[in-house]
C-alpha cells in the first residue's frame, strides 16, 4: 500500500503520501500548515511575486484526500492561513470551496502561530484538541506524550530524493507541511533532533510513503 500504517498511543494511524494523517477508526483526517494565501501575503509585504495558485492546489489535494478516505472529521493543525489577512481576503469562490469541504463533517481549526484566533470561517476553533489519548496541537511540547503536531515542516533526504516527511517516535508524531508553497526544515536540524527519540522514523511523502530511520546528520 502507498500509505504507512502504524500504531501510536493506542490508535491505528496511517501516514498518507499527501502528508495528511488518517485515523480510520475515528474517520478523522488531520493536516497541518496549509499556509493558504501565502502568495498574497508575500505580495503585500513587497516580496518576490509568486504565482497565485497555491490555495487552489492545496484545497484540491485536500479535497482528494477527503473524498478518498470518506473522512467525517477534519482537523487543521494550525497555520492554515499564512496570516490573518489571508483568511479575510478570500474570494467568494475559495470561501465557497472551503464551505463545501466542511459540509456534513466536523471541522476543527487549531490555532497556529501564523493564524492565532478565529479565522471568520465555519468550524470550531481550539488551541489544542484532546481525543482518545491523543493531544493534537500546532507546536510540539518537549515533555509531551501521545502528541500530534506540525509547525516545523520536516523534510528528509534519502540518496538524491528530498521530500517532506512525517517524524514518528514513541511519544509524538510530527506532520509535514501540507501547503503547496511551504518550505521545510531538514530533520537533522534543531529542534527536531532534540524533540525526536533515538528510534524515530522519517516517513517520506510523495507517490508513496517511504519509512527510513530519521537521519541525524547532514548528508553529503
Q: pLDDT for 99-108, tens place per residue?
A: 999 999 999 9
pLDDT in tens, 158-210: 888 889 999 999 999 999 999 986 878 999 999 999 999 999 999 999 999 99
Identify which of 136, 133, 169, 139 has the alpha carbon closest to the alpha carbon of residue 152. Answer: 139
Any residues with CB less than 8 A from the CB of 207 and at least 6 apart, and which?
Answer: 2, 17
For residue 170, the SS3 value is coil
CA dihedral 219, 204, 166, 152 (to 10 degrees): 50
CB 187 within 8 Å of CB 176: no
Q: What is this structure's pTM?
A: 0.92
Measured CA to CA, the distance from residue 131 to residue 143 in angstroms comes to: 18
- Per-residue pLDDT reduced to its tens digit, 127-143: 999 999 999 999 999 99
Radius of gyration of the chain (CA): 16
Q: How many CB atoms are closer than 10 A to CB 135? A: 17
Domain ranges of the chain: 4-213
Calpha distance 216→65 (Å, rounded): 31
Model confidence at 151: pLDDT above 60 = yes
Contact in structure between 96 and 61 (CB atoms under 8 Å): no
The residue behind cell 492545496 is: 58
* 61-82: pLDDT as tens digits: 999 999 999 999 999 999 998 6
Q: Is CATH 3.60.21 the classification given to domain 4-213?
A: yes
Amino acid at each position: 500500500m502507498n500509505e504507512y500504517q502504524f500504531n501510536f498511543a493506542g490508535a491505528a494511524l496511517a501516514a498518507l503520501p499527501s502528508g495528511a494523517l488518517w485515523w480510520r477508526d475515528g474517520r478523522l483526517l488531520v493536516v497541518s500548515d496549509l499556509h493558504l494565501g501565502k502568495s498574497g501575503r508575500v505580495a503585500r509585504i513587497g516580496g518576490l511575486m509568486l504565482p497565485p495558485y497555491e490555495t487552489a492546489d492545496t484545497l484540491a489535494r485536500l479535497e482528494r484526500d477527503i473524498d478518498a478516505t470518506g473522512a467525517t472529521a477534519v482537523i487543521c493543525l494550525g497555520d492554515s492561513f499564512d496570516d490573518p489577512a489571508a483568511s479575510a481576503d478570500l474570494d467568494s469562490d475559495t470561501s465557497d470551496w472551503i464551505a463545501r469541504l466542511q459540509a456534513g463533517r466536523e471541522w476543527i481549526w487549531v490555532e497556529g502561530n501564523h493564524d492565532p484566533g478565529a479565522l471568520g470561517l465555519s468550524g470550531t476553533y481550539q488551541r489544542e484538541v484532546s481525543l482518545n489519548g491523543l493531544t493534537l496541537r500546532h507546536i510540539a511540547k518537549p515533555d509531551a506524550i501521545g502528541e500530534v503536531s506540525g509547525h516545523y515542516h520536516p523534510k528528509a533526504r534519502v540518496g538524491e530524493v528530498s521530500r517532506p516527511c512525517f517524524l514518528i517516535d514513541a511519544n509524538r508524531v510530527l506532520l509535514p507541511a501540507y501547503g503547496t508553497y511551504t518550505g521545510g526544515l531538514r530533520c537533522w536540524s534543531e529542534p527536531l533532533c532534540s524533540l525526536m527519540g533515538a528510534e524515530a522514523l522519517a516517513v517520506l511523502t510523495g507517490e508513496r510513503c517511504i519509512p527510513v530511520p530519521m537521519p541525524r546528520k547532514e548528508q553529503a
